[in-house]
A and B are shown apart, each in its own frame.
Chain A
């Protein structure tokens, strides 16, 4: 039997500190407790205790680009970032479009044992947008795939998207769309607007995202299917989501930490560490996204953690791969943009980083309340501490962070997966 006692933590940052007893992966007591024999004790000192974070959008690069991230290193980064479950996107090489690959990813996640790694299955064979992948086989495989996405690419064909949504309803799964009308983003490198006009970047217009989101909301409503919109980046998308939700469409959406904080003002450096897809937008977009997340129009935060090799980032902008690391900085960016600004309290943080993503991803043992009898997937956060970002010190193999050298608030001091400490004081627990 493993026993952990978290002494003096404040669940959801509320009330007086309490002790939380975890035995064999389950919360068994909460209150003023004695230290049981053989218990491992975490002195929380009034820190905030939250349900373990769930990331609906992680790129782990295995199989195919193990030089930039493996399931093991990505899992370590996730645990250090306070995550207990991550969804690994399908755009690996080979693509996770069949049961063999998703089961491989699932098993490698189990071997790493630091977070639950849930493979995302591709919607279409080879991410080519031409033919549905075997969604049913993947959903019923050992990995029990719950989310399907061609992320990185959009399922642009409206008929194929309709079929995917319709088909998904029989499986009880969700289709997550990378909303980008490809004909509107040929050669696109950055948000289409003032910065791109000045700096000579080919523009990625907001309407390329918004037109697909609007279309997909209508298709999902028509099919009575569950649609999840990946990495919302524009103010207009937030408006469309609100409209669709008001109509009763089963749509959910995520926003990345970087779209909450960073803007296209960063383009002037020409440093591709800031290159992401969808691109960084304007301050008014970021402001709207923060408000939409606070109001629940956008359901959750997802990292779009995207490790890249040095040579794929330290180059000219147009040659660079899009994406940035996110797992170890997400909480801090949420604290910076949402908590310190008063937009979210800690219960709100639990909602957007744990509860809603778990619900959207059909996970029953994550994102649960901190109550007796619930699974002990937990994250302890020191809300007052600050830290300085050093990409080279991340658990990820890659180091492509736009926050290099920045001082950020909020430190994850411990993560527990089913009652086992996976990370503590910035180190992976052995």
Chain B
């Protein structure tokens, strides 16, 4: 393992090792006044973000810093990228400057994989922090960590992913990871927000949220981006909310033990009712907390653990 580019094809043993490490790190740091480990001292980690992001970039930055790595943030708007420099040239510059790891967020599907090719010679690790509508593997890993905490295991669990699957890298990463770990994934969305060819993914598909809720152990709400609301993907925000919003009535259809997740930022009132987002069933804040530990674990397995580089 040299890079983390996708959960599609990811070795479940590696994923489980990351989850175990994250859990261990969480317990190690729990209650500590100084949350700093020396593990990545002397290593340079660069976050290269071509899209705006607060939670993912900050999460990676904190993860790197808690591991004592030198973390440098590069955003497209304030770098040579703004002068028209290509991704390839930017990548080579960062590698030449001594980056041990580049964490990339990019609007193009496959950008992280392309980057890993350009950096192969330099031996720089690449972590995909979201590429286009392809994947966001650390989000899936932190979702998995959160679900494992709440549910104990994945075997036989049925997890619903609700909303804009078509444009969601979070959905794709979760589909592959959760099914690889033994869970059953059901997608609930209007046909316009499901990709053509969805039947090739390890999922079942439904358009009726109410019908699915009683059998779900977890429901993962997806973000609906503003432009979708006017792009003809569905008639109106109101109709979407009526059909696919997770409200208090729907919460009652879920089993008692069911967990509610959302990758954020949330559209309260439309995708998810505030009463649901703030309920005990909601693990949304926990997702963010686990995000740091999972990203620490990923950096550990890529940069520090014995035999990590293969």
Interface of A toward B, CB cutoff 8 Å: 189, 192-203, 205, 270-271, 311, 314-319
The complex places the Cα of A193 from the Cα of B197 at a distance, in Å, of 5
The complex places the Cα of A195 from the Cα of B111 at a distance, in Å, of 16
Known: A193-B196, A205-B196, A317-B108. A198 touches B133 (CB 8 A): no
Residue in B110, B114, B131, B197 whose CB lies within 8 Å of A197: B197
Min CB gap B136→A, angstroms: 10
Instruction: Flag whether B132 is at the interface (Cβ < 8 A).
Output: yes
Instruction: Flag whether B201 is at the interface (Cβ < 8 A).
Output: yes
Using a CB-CB cutoff of 8 Å, which residues 97-121 of chain B contact chain A?
A: 106-111, 113-114
Interface of B toward A, CB cutoff 8 Å: 8, 86-88, 106-111, 113-114, 131-135, 169, 172, 195-201
The complex places the Cα of A319 from the Cα of B132 at a distance, in Å, of 12
Residues in B whose Cβ lies below 8 Å from that of A318: 107-109, 132
For B111, B134, B197, the residue with the greatest tally of chain A CB atoms inside 10 Å of its CB is B197
Residues in B whose Cβ lies below 8 Å from that of A193: 196-197
Q: In the complex the two chains form, is B132's CB within 8 Å of A197's CB? A: no
Residue in A195, A200, A271, A314 whose CB lies within 8 Å of B133: A200
The complex places the Cα of A31 from the Cα of B107 at a distance, in Å, of 65
Residues in B whose Cβ lies below 8 Å from that of A314: 88
For A198, A202, A271, the residue with the greatest tally of chain B CB atoms inside 10 Å of its CB is A198
The complex places the Cα of A19 from the Cα of B114 at a distance, in Å, of 53
With contacts A198-B8, A270-B113, A317-B111 known, what are 20 further pairs, Cβ within 8 A? Answer: A192-B196, A192-B197, A196-B197, A197-B198, A200-B109, A200-B110, A200-B131, A200-B132, A200-B134, A200-B135, A200-B169, A200-B172, A201-B133, A203-B195, A203-B197, A270-B114, A311-B86, A314-B88, A316-B114, A318-B107
Q: In the complex the two chains form, is A315's CB within 8 Å of B197's CB? A: no
Residues in B whose Cβ lies below 8 Å from that of A196: 195-197
The complex places the Cα of A203 from the Cα of B106 at a distance, in Å, of 19
Residue in B106, B111, B172 whose CB lies within 8 Å of A198: B172
Q: In the complex the two chains form, is A199's CB within 8 Å of B198's CB? A: no
Min CB gap A103→B, angstroms: 36
Q: In the complex the two chains form, is A317's CB within 8 Å of B114's CB? A: yes
Q: In the complex the two chains form, is B197's CB within 8 Å of A316's CB? A: no
The complex places the Cα of A313 from the Cα of B86 at a distance, in Å, of 11
Residue of A nearest to B171 (CB): A200
Q: In the complex the two chains form, is A316's CB within 8 Å of B111's CB? A: yes
The complex places the Cα of A215 from the Cα of B108 at a distance, in Å, of 33
Q: In the complex the two chains form, is A203's CB within 8 Å of B196's CB? A: yes
Residues in A whose Cβ lies below 8 Å from that of B196: 192-193, 196-197, 203, 205
